[in-house]
């Protein structure tokens, strides 16, 4: 009983958190008293009634910035998850269906990419492309495409041996059609789990890159940028500068991870 409750608790908690974040991203910005990039004379203010999360070195309201950043970070996470899934699973499906030399070549390439931690891959690619939201999305997406290629290919290899693949071919479907339209949908469930995980990783990677000064940069309101600005004051004790954006970042990633875990448990039943 406890077991069941806890299993669904994971999914429930994750979804609740994520819905909360989406709500904040949607409605939050209109509810704020300040502008995210508006400087003021009240620099380094501790959290107070006027500034619930305090202010930074330009006197900007941290709460406003955290709320505005929610929209940006969620947008990046969703975009990365969707594009890397779309591109990765189409490549994986084709490769898994046709097999042979195409499979050999593509999977070698995927192996080379896997030989490199995805964060570092994203870091180098962002460095190459330069700093912008689009570039950081591109870089992180490229880093996670291999995950979907490998996943969908593996699924495809098993699905393709099932009777309905033969059935689809025998009634005269061309093989690309069978691969993409008949077989791909059956590999979706595990991809959904993977997407949720990738969204969580993407949000951490984006913020991590911003923390290193890559991708999204100051003065944009982004969690990683804000943490990085706070880190400059780590030895002087202005903890509110990095604590709140960090907490938002970690909770968001936690939500995606919980959903991923919960979905996986659901599928394993």
Partner 1 sequence: MDMTEPLLALENLSVTITDNRGQSKPILQGVSFEIYPNEVMGLVGESGSGKSMTALAIMGLLPRRAKPQSGHIWFNGHDLLTLSKREWYAVRGSQLAMIFQNPRAALNPLMRVGQQVARVVRLHQSLKKRAAYEKALDLLQQVGIPDSQTRARAYPHQLSGGMAQRVLIAMMLACQPRLLIADEPTTGLDVTIQAQIFELIKTIQAEFGTTLLLITHDLGVVSEVCQRVAVMQDGKIQEVATVGELFAHPQHPYTQHLMNTLLRVDRPTNSRA
Partner 2 sequence: MTTTPDTGATDQSPSLWLSFWAILRSNPLFRYLLRRLGLAVLALVGVIGVAFFLTSVLPGNPAVVRAGPLANEERIERYEREMGLDRPLVVQFADYVVHLAQGDLGESWSSRQPAQDELRARIPATVELGIVAFGLTLAISLPLGILAAVYQGTIIDWVIRLFATFGASVALFWLALIGIHLFYYEWDIAPPPLDRLTIGTEEPPSVTGLFTIDSLLAGDIKTCRDALNHLWLPAMTLALVVSAPMTKMIRSAMLETLDKDFIRTARAVGLPPRTIILVDALRSAFIPVLTTSGIVFGYLVAGNVIVERVFSWAGVGQYVWQALDANNLNAVRGFILLIAVVYIVLNLVIDLLYSLLDPRIRLN
Task: Please tell me whether residue 119 binds partner 2 under the rule CB under 8 A.
Answer: yes
- How buried is 253 (Cβ within 10 angstroms: 0-12 exposed, 13-18 middle, 19+ buried)? buried
23 binds partner 2 (CB under 8 A): no
Residue 4 binds partner 1 (CB under 8 A):
yes
Distance separating alpha carbons of residues 76 and 136, to the nearest angstrom: 9
Among 11, 211, 216, 220, binds partner 2 (CB under 8 A): 211
Q: What secondary structure, in 3-state letters, does 18-52 show?
A: HHHHHHHHHHHHHHCCCCCCCCCCCCCCCCCCCCC
CB of 185 to partner 1, least distance (A): 25
Angle between helices 133-159 and 188-211 (to 10 degrees): 150
Asked if residue 132 binds partner 2 (CB under 8 A), the reply is no
Q: Is 171 in the site for partner 1 (CB under 8 A)?
A: no
1 touches partner 1 by CB under 8 A: yes
Residue with smaller CB distance to partner 2, 45 or 238: 238
Check binding of 269 to partner 1 (CB under 8 A): yes
What are the helix and strand counts (H, E) for the chain?
A: 10, 0
The answer to whether residue 236 forms part of the interface with partner 1 (CB under 8 A) is: no
Q: Under the rule (CB under 8 A), what is the footprint of partner 1?
A: 1, 3-4, 269
């Amino acid at each position: 009983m406890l077991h069941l409750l806890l299993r669904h608790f994971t999914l429930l908690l994750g979804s609740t958190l994520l819905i909360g974040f989406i709500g904040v991203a949607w409605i939050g910005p209109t509810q704020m008293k300040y502008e995210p990039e508006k400087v003021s004379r009240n620099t380094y203010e501790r959290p107070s009634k006027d500034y619930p999360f305090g202010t930074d070195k330009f006197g900007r309201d941290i709460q406003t910035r955290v709320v505005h950043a929610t929209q940006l970070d969620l947008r990046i996470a969703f975009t990365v998850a969707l594009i890397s899934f779309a591109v990765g699973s189409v490549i994986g499906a084709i490769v898994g269906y046709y097999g042979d030399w195409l499979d050999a070549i593509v999977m070698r390439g995927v192996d080379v990419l896997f030989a490199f931690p995805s964060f570092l891959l994203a870091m180098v690619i962002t460095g190459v492309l330069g700093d912008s939201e689009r570039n950081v999305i591109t870089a992180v997406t490229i880093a996670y495409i291999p995950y979907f290629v490998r996943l969908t290919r593996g699924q495809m290899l098993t699905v393709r041996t099932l009777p309905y693949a033969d059935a689809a071919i025998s009634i005269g479907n061309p093989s690309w059609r069978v691969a993409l339209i008949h077989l791909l949908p059956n590999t979706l469930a595990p991809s959904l789990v993977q997407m949720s995980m990738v969204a969580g990783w993407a949000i951490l990677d984006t913020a991590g890159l911003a923390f290193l000064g890559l991708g999204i940069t100051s003065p944009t309101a982004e969690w990683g940028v804000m943490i990085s600005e706070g880190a400059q004051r780590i030895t002087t004790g202005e903890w509110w500068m990095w604590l709140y954006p960090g907490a938002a970042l970690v909770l968001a990633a936690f939500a995606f991870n919980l959903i991923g875990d919960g979905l996986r448990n659901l599928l394993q039943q």
